[in-house]
Structure 1
Amino acid sequence: MNIIVEKLTKTYETAAEKLAVLQDVHFSMKSGEWLTVIGPSGSGKSSLLQCIVGIVPPDKGSIIRLDDLHLHEASVEAVLEFRRKRVGFIYQDYKLFNQFDALTNVILPLAPYERKDILYKRGKALLEKVHLAERIHHMPSQLSGGEKQRVAIARALINYPELLICDEPTGNLDEENRDHIIEILHDLNKEGKSILLVTHDKEVISQGQRLMQLQRGKVYEQEKKRFHPLDK
């Protein structure tokens, strides 16, 4: 999925002040690229991701294009449909529903729109893909942090997304689980999925084709070479 971002600004208002977390951000991303974004805590990385896919509205005048969708001009319904059909989002805190098992959590985003038998089959295949075949009926309380994150990845893939948004996907994981997640993301990128990822993790920074730093509300492209997953 091709992404074009121009003049992206996001301001949050409190009773005491206005805080501009993103200021006139410009960048583009080609289909099939893996772009990693780094920056200190509070620099606006999560806001950047959420603005790009329409979860959080940017300030007026911001321009965001996702292939043929002009996010700044599209209706709420069109943005929701686009995201449901073409975007997967991996959250740092998993956002699993504790009352449902792993398989049900995976299929939930499409449950109102597609046949359950088809979704269950697809969900099982995705959980196998992330090495959780023996955990499909486990509840979130029975899963480790790494297992929960892999369930979240499987859920983000349920709609065969062209763009995968990853918000600190390894932030809560130990080294072994982090390396497993990196390998999964690398395989998905090799399959042609575009990946836009924010991280603090030095091992994750070395992955992908491009690196961008977010600082004081602005982005700066960083030079980097291609790395194979888990190269030190």
Structure 2
Amino acid sequence: MIQLKEVSKIYKMGQEKVRALDHVDMCIAEGEYVSITGPSGSGKSTIMNIIGCLDTADTGSYILDGISIEEYSENDLARIRNHKIGFIFQNFNLLYKLTAEENVELPLIYQRVKAAERKRRVKEALEQVELSHRIRHKPAELSGGQQQRVAIARALVTKPSLFLADEPTGNLDSKTGEEIMKLFHELHLAGNTIVLITHDPKIADEAERKIAMRDGKAREVVSW
């Protein structure tokens, strides 16, 4: 599903150049559960942005589902982000004026899904994360764990082929984090591909495979 070949990314910080990624090779097959781990500044976020089609590499190639990203137009990339990838972020990225139900519905509105189908899929997604009893509540009325469940439901509702999670337990206490990780295991058992970005070794260890980042380089962790 995901293949990075010799991917490099350099950012300019004033007069200085920072090599965020240094000739990274990476393969992730459909249905895998992979964690990408490493300290702050190791290149994790840059890898996430490239895999999620939020940014592009300076050199090297990114092949998604057998097609090089370079062959896609901006409209194609927007469609990939909206249909193929379910994003889950540390800060939840919910709209605070909208209810849980409305937040989950939003990507379906962008996809121009009909109202009756939207309602059915939103209900199904919120039930899957065990939050159907809080659908009328706005984010400020929900706990951090509940907000993350809404964010996961929002990712689920578009039926993506890839879930891309960036520090999904970073703002949660340990018990709530464990509950969220259980949800990811359930998603994986259902056949979904999951790429989990984390600095926490314990969270990273829950994946099938672990890729360690350091100084912009990636290496497979064979056993841990």
Q: Provide the TM-score with structure 1 as the length reference.
A: 0.92
**Partners in 1 of 2:13 and 2:216 — Cα distance?**
18
Residues 39 and 213 in structure 1, CA contact (< 8 A), matched pair in contact too: yes
Residues 209 and 221 in structure 2, CA contact (< 8 A), matched pair in contact too: yes
Residues 37 and 201 in structure 2, CA contact (< 8 A), matched pair in contact too: no
* Counterpart residue number, 2:117: 118
* Counterpart residue number, 1:37: 36
CA shift at 1:120, angstroms? 2.0
Give the ranges of 4+ consecutive aligned residues of structure 1 lying more than 3 Å apart after TM superposition: none
| Helix, strand or coil at the partner of 2:195 | strand
* Counterpart residue number, 1:228: none
AA aligned to 1:79 is L
Q: Is 1:107 aligned to residue 105 of structure 2? A: yes
Q: CA deviation digits over 1:105-127, x for unaligned, max 9?
A: 01111213211221122112111
Q: Provide the TM-score with structure 2 as the length reference.
A: 0.95
Q: CA deviation digits over 1:176-214, x for unaligned, max 9?
A: 211111111001111111111111223312212100100
* Counterpart residue number, 1:154: 153
**Partners in 2 of 1:16 and 1:216 — Cα distance?**
20
* Counterpart residue number, 2:94: 96
**Partners in 1 of 2:26 and 2:137 — Cα distance?**
41
| Helix, strand or coil at the partner of 2:170 | coil
AA aligned to 2:85 is V
* Counterpart residue number, 1:183: 182
AA aligned to 1:128 is E
* Counterpart residue number, 1:74: 72
* Counterpart residue number, 1:65: 63
RMSD: 1.3
* Counterpart residue number, 1:230: none
Q: Which runs of 5+ in 1 are unaligned?
A: 226-232
Residues 211 and 219 in structure 2, CA contact (< 8 A), matched pair in contact too: yes
Q: Is 1:84 aligned to residue 65 of structure 2? A: no
Q: CA deviation digits over 1:74-129, x for unaligned, max 9?
A: 21111111222211110111000011001110111121321122112211211111
Moved more, 67-76 or 155-164: 67-76
Report how many residues are paired.
223
| Helix, strand or coil at the partner of 1:182 | helix
| Helix, strand or coil at the partner of 1:26 | strand
Q: Which runs of 5+ in 2 are unaligned?
A: none
CA shift at 1:175, angstroms? 1.7
Moved more, 131-140 or 66-75: 66-75
Residues 101 and 137 in structure 1, CA contact (< 8 A), matched pair in contact too: yes
Residues 196 and 204 in structure 2, CA contact (< 8 A), matched pair in contact too: no
| Helix, strand or coil at the partner of 2:206 | coil
**Partners in 1 of 2:176 and 2:191 — Cα distance?**
23
